[in-house]
């Protein structure tokens, strides 16, 4: 059995894979570097309560971390690309994101308070952008990452204009 929700219509940009690859590489380097630092610290400390075999084999720690995490560095971006999708129809924004864990967000345009278009450092490099949609609640807010810049700009503009129109109707 699976969740009875259909896939949102649009995929994010293919270049988002590169973005996620860069990000996961960055995280990988930090993680392996951190465990290497911890290993240096532990091997230099020579605590009496630590069993001898741990101290002798402490350099296996960063190696193990690297071997275990390496596949995910490659898998995560492609997995995310398969999961991350979005759609705007019937004045509702429907977006799916995640990889190991997933989340589906539904934001009706009439409840939107602000729409932001953002570009991080990597995103600017790749010509991508993130659309942040905010309502009065964190659970009704969504950010769609890895959109092509032109697509993001159009989506943000459409949403802002439509939100304005709908509010006029509602009040």
Partner 1 sequence: MTASPTPPGPPGPVPGGAPPPGQGPAPSYAPAARLSPRMLLIDPVRMLPSLFLPLVGVLFVGGFSPPSFGWAAIGVVGSVAYSVIRWATFTYRIVDDRLELTRALVSRSVRTIPLERVRGVDIATPPLHRLLGLAVLRIDTGAHGAGKQEGELDGVTVAEAERLKTVLLRTARARRAATPGAGPEIGPDGPLAAVDAPAAGAGTCVPGEAIGASEAIEAGASAHAAAHREPEVVYARVPRKWLRYGPLSGAYLLTPFALAAGAVGLAFQWGEQLGFGGDAAVSAGRWLWDHPYLLLVAAALLVVAMPLAGVVMYAIFNWDFTLRSRDGYLVAERGLITRRSVSLERRRVRGFEIVEGLAERWAGVARVWAIVTGLGDSQTRGQLLPVVPRAEAGRVTGAAIGVLAAPLRPHPPAARRRRLFRAVAPWAALTAAGALLALATGAGAWWVPTGIAFVLALLGVPLGLDRYRSLGHAYDGTHLSVRSGALRRAQAVVERRAVVGWTLKQTWFQRRAGVLTVIAGVGAGVGGYEAVDVSEADGPAFAAEVTPDWIAPFMR
State yes or no: residue 108 binds partner 1 (CB under 8 A): yes
State yes or no: residue 100 binds partner 1 (CB under 8 A): yes
State yes or no: residue 139 binds partner 1 (CB under 8 A): yes
Q: Which stretch binds partner 1 (CB under 8 A): 21-29, 35-43, 57-65, 85-93?
A: 85-93
Q: Which stretch binds partner 1 (CB under 8 A): 2-10, 15-23, 27-35, 71-79?
A: 2-10
The b/e string for 42-77 (b: 16+ C-beta within 10 A; e otherwise) is beeeeeeeeeeeeeeebeebbeebbeebeeebeebb
State the first-to-last Cα distance of the chain, in angstroms, to the nearest integer: 42
Q: Which of 10, 119, 141, 143 binds partner 1 (CB under 8 A)?
A: 141
Q: Which of 103, 157, 158, 161 binds partner 1 (CB under 8 A)?
A: 103
DSSP bridge partners of 130: 118
CB of 134 to partner 1, least distance (A): 7
Round to whole Å and give the CA distance between 125 and 119.
9
State yes or no: residue 1 binds partner 1 (CB under 8 A): yes
Q: Which of 60, 82, 113, 158 binds partner 1 (CB under 8 A)?
A: 113
Q: Are 78 and 14 in contact (CB under 8 A)?
A: no
Q: Which residues contact 55 (CB under 8 A, 6 or more apart)?
A: 42, 43, 46, 47
Contacts with partner 1, residue ranges (CB under 8 A) = 1-6, 8, 87, 89-90, 92, 94, 100-108, 110-114, 134-142, 163-164, 167-168, 170-171
């Amino acid at each position: 059995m699976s969740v009875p929700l259909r896939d949102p219509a649009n995929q994010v940009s293919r270049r988002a894979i590169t973005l996620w690859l860069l990000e996961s590489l960055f995280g990988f380097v930090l993680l392996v570097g951190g465990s290497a630092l911890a290993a240096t610290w532990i091997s230099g400390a020579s605590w009496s309560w630590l069993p001898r075999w741990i101290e002798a084999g402490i350099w296996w720690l960063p190696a193990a971390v690297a071997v275990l995490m390496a596949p995910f560095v490659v898998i995560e971006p492609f997995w995310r690309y398969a999961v991350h999708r979005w759609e705007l129809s019937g004045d509702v924004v429907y977006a799916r994101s995640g990889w190991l864990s997933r989340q589906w967000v539904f934001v009706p345009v009439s409840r939107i308070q602000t729409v932001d278009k953002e570009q991080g450092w990597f995103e600017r490099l790749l010509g991508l952008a993130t659309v942040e949609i905010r309502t009065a609640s964190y659970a009704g807010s969504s950010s769609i990452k890895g959109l092509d810049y032109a697509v993001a700009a159009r989506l943000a503009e459409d949403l802002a204009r439509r939100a304005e129109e709908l509010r006029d109707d509602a009040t």
